[in-house]
Structure 1
Amino acid sequence: MRYLVSLLFVFSLFSCETKPDYTFSSVEISPVFIDSLSIRAIEPINENMVWFAADKGRVGVIDGDTPRLANIKYGDSLLHFRSIASTKEAIFVLSIANPAVLYKIGVDGAKATNIEEVYTEKGENVFYDSMKFWNEKEGIAVGDPINGCLSIIITRDGGNHWNKLDCSNLPSAEKGEAAFAASNSNIAVYDNQVWIATGGKRARVLHSANKGENWEIFETPIIQGKAMTGIYSIDFYDAKTGIIFGGDWENKKLNEGNKAVTKDGGKTWKLIANGKEPGYRSSVKYVPETEGQGIVAIGSPGISVSGDGGKSWNEISKEGFFAIEFVNDSVAFASGNNRISKLLFKK
């Protein structure tokens, strides 16, 4: 009898265990940089340093309270940047539209030591959207379709040289399918894998398990069919757990068919909080160290958070941003019109 009582006591202890609470109740927003720019690409280095790439040719780093800025021209034209990525030795920025120019900026802390043009592509339909690195040597950037497939360039030597994949090695893009340069987040990487989200007339996810050597494509239930519908952002917490977010830019309040999760590495997607807030968001990120339960989605309408893997959401700020990148489980940087801010999330 005493043994049975002991077992019941132990069982009751375990049954009373509660899951960690990953829900943020508020956010403290502190501007760290203000300028007349549209900033859609940020790359935090630590809690006090963030690089950015913006329109009007502006690239820079905010080091504490100190901004270091540069204007980049191609010929007589100021380039517009919406893609940024980093390795330990360099920052990479990639311009939209024609010509697309990718620069490697050597860095020493918060100082740029040199800048080098490492890739240029010209053409009427050239438009690059986002960029990520798997490791110190291998990186990938994606752009809108040309000749029937997404434009994908890859480096294997630390960003010194980039090669464009041939359409014969990629899934075909359908008419009206493209990618959104909204927040440098329609690419997600984890280990050797990469996922690329599309929008417009189709909203699908391209996937490679071997750093771009082979590709497959998956359907999603995200709203599609018009030029401004589809997936605007994708993120993966691990090899299996991912989220896609977007909606209809022309109807930002629409909250049906705009957010979905996967538990099998992107093969299948299930809508979450369908018909419930939030509506359109341009950037979504898993919160680090939250077991895939903490999520933040931001966009011009505001900041929304989930602590249960996307099942339920709360709006904690109406301040609008384009992009968000986390430094740790409570600190992130966000960028938008005319500013970069540091975000301190609180439970």
Structure 2
Amino acid sequence: MRVLIFGLLLVGLFSCKHEASIIPRSFSEMEIETLLQDSLLNVRALEIIPQIDGAFFLCSKGYGGSISRIDSEETLFETEVVYPIQIIEDEINFRSFGQTNDAAFGLSIENPAFLYKIGRDETTLVYKENHPKAFYDSMDFWNDQEGIAIGDPTDDCMSVIITRDGGDTWTKLSCDNLPKAKAGEAAFAASDTNIAIIGDHTWVATGGKSSRILYSPDKGKTWEVYDTPIIQGKETTGIYSMDFYDEKNGFAIGGDYTKPNDTLNNKIRTNDGGKTWQVVANGNGPGYRSCVQYVPNSEGKELVAIGFKGIDYSNDAGDSWKHLSDEGYYTIRFLNDSVAYAAGKGRISKLTFKE
């Protein structure tokens, strides 16, 4: 394994939080600036790194890259992209990315599953799982010491691994401590947004023939499970992405990627912490989308949904939607309340939303 020193790119990593309160705006247009275009790119793992005013992404073949905002005499916003960065020499496919103040973490799909701790001075394999059904989908951290990753069932429950020591070791939870999975229930590694964390509260979205919400109030120590009304029943249906604005308000989106124009029962919302969910904009707005995110500082009113069929925006918590672009991406993360990075097949772009 060839170790890569990341230096300043990994100093002071921490997750973005929703904060402040304003009256919801109404975006009417969006500017797309392509930052990187490469036919080999296939990016679904993307996270904001506030300390460099940018982001880091992981992709296939053991590679990743960085996006940063740099000072310039000619412009207030010049973007620098560094790609490819070789994380490891093995050609694994990263679909999940997590971060603490001290390190970054990349998790691969398929068997065997590899989880690497990417430090300032070295890259270390901290977890490996050999199982014919191994397939991890998403990862997130509660704090600098405690983190979680989820994957498809290898037994009769979802796969859940947890660290309590800053990512140095990971332990897979026993199915005795998790809700039993239903037949055909799994998750989608579509955008690394199957997990939502607010404080100690954790929500995990499943999909497939059964699409539910696993909820933990105590950082993964105990779990409950809630049903959802989203479309389900096939291997390709269910929740593909979920975000929470605060402890009560959350939104999930998905559908059936084989029928991307279908708009029935693919958008759901909760205002009681995930216990109950309601279908919104039924028959209207976006069809299948692989990622949904709340716009920061929007009082939980503004949402952006993104997928290979385009980009859509809501400023009324998902009741109605405006289609902003046909340009396709897999995942999106907001740098601030008007600028985001979007990644997908063949490219990474900066999106600037305007009223």
Q: TM-score, normalised by structure 2?
A: 0.88
SS in 2 for 1:78: coil
* CA–CA distance in structure 2, aligned partners of residues 44 and 340 of structure 1: 13
* CA–CA distance in structure 2, aligned partners of residues 334 and 149 of structure 1: 32
* CA–CA distance in structure 2, aligned partners of residues 22 and 93 of structure 1: 35
Code of the aligned partner of 2:108: S
- Report what 1:13 is aligned to: none
For residue 135 of structure 1, report the CA deviation from its aligned partner.
1.0
- 1:96 equivalenced with 2:109 (yes/no): yes
- Report what 2:92 is aligned to: 79
Code of the aligned partner of 2:86: N
For residue 73 of structure 1, report the CA deviation from its aligned partner.
4.8
Q: Which has the larger radius of gyration?
A: 1
* CA–CA distance in structure 1, aligned partners of residues 209 and 177 of structure 2: 22
- 1:119 equivalenced with 2:94 (yes/no): no
**Residue 176 of structure 1 contacts residue 201 of structure 1 at CA under 8 Å; is this kept in 2?**
yes
- Report what 1:20 is aligned to: 23
- Report what 1:69 is aligned to: 84
Deviations 1:117-139 (A, max 9, x none): 11111110000000001111111
- Report what 1:59 is aligned to: 64
- 1:346 equivalenced with 2:354 (yes/no): yes
Code of the aligned partner of 1:91: A
Deviations 1:8-67 (A, max 9, x none): xxxxxxxxxxx9242211111111222221111101213742111111221222333240
- Report what 2:251 is aligned to: 243
* CA–CA distance in structure 2, aligned partners of residues 219 and 66 of structure 1: 42
- Report what 1:5 is aligned to: none
For residue 201 of structure 1, report the CA deviation from its aligned partner.
0.4
**Residue 23 of structure 2 contacts residue 299 of structure 2 at CA under 8 Å; is this kept in 1?**
no
* CA–CA distance in structure 2, aligned partners of residues 300 and 174 of structure 1: 29
* CA–CA distance in structure 2, aligned partners of residues 27 and 58 of structure 1: 29
**Residue 118 of structure 1 contacts residue 160 of structure 1 at CA under 8 Å; is this kept in 2?**
yes
* CA–CA distance in structure 2, aligned partners of residues 192 and 95 of structure 1: 25
1:184 corresponds, among 172, 192, 195, to: 192
Aligned pairs for 1:1-347 (under 5 A) are: 20-35=23-38, 36-46=40-50, 48-63=53-68, 64-73=79-88, 77-107=90-120, 113-347=121-355
- Where structure 1 has 5 or more consecutive residues not aligned to the other structure, the ranges are 1-18, 108-112
Code of the aligned partner of 1:268: T
Code of the aligned partner of 1:200: G
Per the alignment, do residues 217 and 257 of structure 1 end up closer, same or farther by CA in structure 2, a change over 3 Å counting? same
Code of the aligned partner of 1:220: T
**Residue 288 of structure 1 contacts residue 329 of structure 1 at CA under 8 Å; is this kept in 2?**
yes
* CA–CA distance in structure 2, aligned partners of residues 69 and 254 of structure 1: 37
- Where structure 2 has 5 or more consecutive residues not aligned to the other structure, the ranges are 1-21, 69-78
The structure with the largest strand share of the pair is: 1
Deviations 1:131-158 (A, max 9, x none): 0011111110000011100000011111
* Count, aligned residues: 322
Q: TM-score, normalised by structure 1?
A: 0.90
For residue 340 of structure 1, report the CA deviation from its aligned partner.
1.1
Code of the aligned partner of 2:163: T
**Residue 33 of structure 1 contacts residue 67 of structure 1 at CA under 8 Å; is this kept in 2?**
no
SS in 2 for 1:148: coil
Deviations 1:204-247 (A, max 9, x none): 00000000000000000000001100000010000000001000
SS in 2 for 1:102: strand
* CA–CA distance in structure 2, aligned partners of residues 85 and 117 of structure 1: 14
